Structure 1
Amino acid sequence: MYKFSGLDKKTGHQPRGKKGVLLMNLGTPDEATTPSVRRYLAEFLSDPRVVEIPRLVWLVILHGIILRVRPAKSAALYKEIWTDGGSPLMDISKKQQAKLQQQLSDDGINSNVYLAMRYGNPSTASTLQAMHKDGVDDITVLPLYPQYAAPTTGTVFDAIARELMKWRFVPSLHFINTYHDNDDYITALAESIEKDFAVNGKPKKLVMSFHGMPERNLQLGDPYYCFCAKTTRLVTEKLGLSNDDYVMTFQSRFGKAKWLGPYTDATIESLAKDGIDDIAVICPAFSADCLETLEEIQGENREVFEEAGGKSFRYIAALNDDDAHIKMMAGLVKPYL
């Protein structure tokens, strides 16, 4: 059980009352090595919200097959995109944290911004404990998943709840569960696309590729697909695009189950074969570039497109630490600070 510490010498009570912001993203291995990737994948893929098949069956598959084969392959891919600041996701997340801290300060708000990863480091538990030691007992949680889904945003709540169940004094919590239709988010996405079009010209097709989810999730009531569709509609309306100008797709599927479609790789291959040889791809579900955007989209899917006859393929970067993105984050958390 987590214990209180740092009592005030005069009163015998710990100084409290501070407000803080907790940014959370999925996570990343600590290093681009097979052992580090194996530890990360073991934690990630053991989450029952991430893989919803009978527990015993899945654990046998996970530890008997996947964790014996996949870590080495993933480590090789991570090495291709690794930076001096670690993985791109971690490097960008730290920049987001620092810039949001500065933005709040510029807006006259005296609240510290903390960063945690759902899987890997810095862990949810250790970050919450650090916030407590700093005297924070009013926490605004911003999971950096624009479109709510149970395996992403939902599991952030799970991790926070599991840690706080051990605490004697539970802090006030403000949990921002989605911002798929937030005006500032939609505007930031649209502006990033407009900037690309201004430099490179309007492509024959804009592909808006969201992270995939099993179709069963939608059937069980998960709103993720609907939120992705609304984000797509709002962005394309702001850009004044017609239905023929864009397509919404889903990437990063694995396993034999049916996932949300249409699939990104199959779609861009079909586009190329149909003579649509100039496309731009953006991934609105990712708040920071990572393996799924930099390697899967810029690498694997580019090859699929070009091998099918495509000529011009470009990836429009995630919003990352762009000023408009940071101001959007500040707008989301400020009402609670």
Structure 2
Amino acid sequence: MFASHSKQEGHSRTSKVGVIITNLGSPSAPTPKALKRYLHEFLSDPRVVETPRWLWWMILNGVILNFRPRRSAKTYAKIWTKQGSPLSVNMASLTEKLSEELRTPFPSDHILVDYAMRYGSPSIENVVQDMQAQGVQRLIVLPLYPQYSASTTASTFDEFANVFKKLRWQPSLDFLPPYYDQPMYIKKIAESIRQYREQNGAGELLLYSYHGVPQRYLHNGDPYHCQCLKTSRLINEKLGLSTEEAKTVFQSRFGREPWLQPYLDVSLEELAKQGYKHIDVISPGFSIDCLETLEEIQMEARQTFVDAGGETLNYIPCLNDSPLQIELLSSLIKPSLKHHLDQVIYTSKKKLSSEEITQQEKHSPNQKTVTSNEVVPSSK
């Protein structure tokens, strides 16, 4: 007898195209226990912390995981909702809306759309396994990181590679590239800024705040810094802003070594001292609002600015699950989706019926035979 999955998927089962959007992840709860588990997975990634493993193991397990989880849990509690983590809630909503959008022009029975987290749940491994179980033989993956960094985009690819290493039958993998300078991305970010300012008024200055990384990552060849600057420049051009009306800063530094500059908190203090009273901040590098935007910018950065003499700091939300985001992501995915669906639909027309498969099995020289060392499964 042929292996059941080979018989079903190789001959008769309709193959599907899976679309997975990914993000960094979130702890399962705003508790020290959940944060310790999440931070251990996150900070153990050699793409995130490029320090000799033996040294970092001692620092992580001997110091950081004994103190940081409790402090981080209190921070997460500030933004936690009844539905859960804002990142997870928005990712689930975005996936549902994106699935509906992608199924509209294409045969819905050939498409599966889901999301996965690099750290935490749902894991990349579980989502890939679930899609394979439903007949997915072609995967399209879009990490929701507009700008490439080894600590985010490359780490996501690494995890897919780790998962694929365990699979006997690997689906094809279409790993979509960063979109930091794609016209539709620039257009949608610019539209979100324009819409926000029309409704709430414009500040004296617009700050583009990106997540920081250590400066040595840039010196070692990571293109992240350059891609962030290009994104800012293209948005300025779209909005007609000068370099005096909008500036780029970096946030979320950790540890003592120099990170990408200028720093957000230092810049806010300096701007307040220069007499700025009203500032707008947007984070083009984040697709979904999360701890770094909802707490670090909306709460912490705002307080830093006010304490230094400023009056208002308005945070412009990420695209989240808005129509702007749906239109952006669908424009990035649809070209690849069409290509793969064309192949799937063509091959599905060549499938054999179950009766034809049974007849071929009967005459196959590759029927499995039971050896003396094998246990025959009971038919009961």
Higher alpha-carbon Rg: 2
Q: 1:21 to 1:300 in 2, by over 3 A?
A: same
Distance 2:3 2:332 in 1: 31
Amino acid paired to 2:128: L
Return closer, same or farther for 1:221/1:292 CA change in 2, 3 Å cut-off: same
CA distance in 1, matches of 2:9, 2:250: 56
Q: Is the 8 A contact 1:207 1:246 kept in 2?
A: yes
Corresponding residue number in structure 2 for 1:312: 312
Which residue is equivalent to 1:171?
A: 171
**What runs of 5+ residues in structure 2 fail to find an aligned partner?**
338-380
Amino acid at match of 1:222: D
Structure 2 counterpart SS, 1:244: coil
**Paired residue secondary structure (2:5):** coil
Letter of the 2:179 counterpart: Y
User: 1:135 corresponds to which residue?
Assistant: 135
Runs of 4+ deviating beyond 4 Å: 8-14
> Which residue of the partner structure matches residue 116 of structure 1?
116
**Equivalenced residues, count:** 334
- Residues 187-198 of structure 1 aligned to structure 2 (within 5 Å): 187-198=187-198
- Do the aligned partners of 1:5 and 1:133 also contact (CA within 8 Å) in 2? no
Structure-1-length-normalised TM-score: 0.96
- Greater mean alpha carbon deviation, residues 301-310 or residues 162-171: 162-171
Of residues 40-49 and 177-186 in structure 1, the stretch that sits farther from structure 2 once superposed is: 177-186
Q: Residues 65-214 of structure 1: matches in 2 within 5 Å?
A: 65-110=63-108, 111-214=111-214
1:146 maps to amino acid: P
Q: Which residue identity does 2:169 align to in structure 1?
A: F
Aligned partners of 1:16 and 1:137 also within 8 Å: no
3-state secondary structure, aligned to 2:197? helix
Q: Distance in 2 between matches of 1:278 and 1:123?
A: 41
SS class of match (1:280): strand
- TM-aligned CA deviation for residue 107 of structure 1: 2.6
How far apart in 2 are the matches of 1:284 and 1:74? 24
**1:41 partnered with 2:39:** yes
Which digits, 9 at most, give the CA deviation of each residue in 1:250-299, with x for residues without a partner? 00000011100100110011101110111000001100000000000011
CA displacement at 1:108 relative to structure 2: 2.8
Unaligned runs of 5+ in 1: none
SS of the aligned residue for 1:315 comes to: strand
Q: Residue 10 of structure 1: CA displacement?
A: 7.3
What SS does the aligned partner of 2:28 have? coil
Change (3 A) 1:103 1:282: same
SS state at 1:142 partner: strand
AA aligned to 2:303 is E
Q: Secondary structure at the match of 1:116?
A: strand
SS at structure 2 position matched to 1:118: strand
Partners of 1:6 and 1:14 within 8 A in 2? no
Q: Which amino acid aligns with 2:45?
A: D
Deviations 1:144-164 (A, max 9, x none): 001010000100000000010
In 2 relative to 1, CA 5–145 (structure 1 residues): closer, same or farther, beyond 3 Å?
farther
Looking at structure 2, the residues matched to 8 and 179 of structure 1 have their Cα atoms a distance apart, in angstroms, of: 37
In structure 1, C-alpha distance between the alignment counterparts of 2:59 and 2:52, rounded to whole Å? 11
**For 2:202, what is the secondary structure of its paired residue?**
coil
- Identity over aligned pairs, percent: 48
Aligned to 1:244: 244
Partner SS state of residue 145, structure 2: coil
Determine helix, strand or coil for the equivalent of 1:89: helix
Q: CA deviation at 1:109?
A: 4.7
Q: Which amino acid aligns with 2:229?
A: A
Contact 2:9–2:135 under 8 Å retained in 1:
no
1:235–1:14: structure 2 CA closer, same or farther, 3 Å change rule?
same
Which one-letter code corresponds to 1:325 in the other structure?
Answer: Q
Distance apart, 1:16 and its partner CA: 5.3
Which AA in structure 2 matches 1:115?
Y
CA–CA distance in 2 between the matches of 1:283 and 1:92? 16
Closer/same/farther in 2, CA of residues 212 and 9 from structure 1, 3 Å limit: closer
Give the AA of the match of 1:170: Q
Q: Distance in 2 between matches of 1:257 and 1:5?
A: 55
Q: Is the 1:148–1:178 Cα contact (8 Å) retained in structure 2?
A: yes
The alpha carbon displacement at 1:201 in A equals: 2.0
With the length of structure 2 as denominator, give the TM-score of the two structures: 0.85
Q: Distance in 1 between matches of 2:148 and 2:107?
A: 27
AA at the equivalent of 1:158: D
Letter in 1 for 2:293: T
Counterpart AA for 2:59 = I
Query: How far apart are 1:84 and its partner, in Å?
Result: 1.9
Number of the residue aligned with 1:53: 51
Structure 1 distance, partners of 2:3, 2:234, is 48
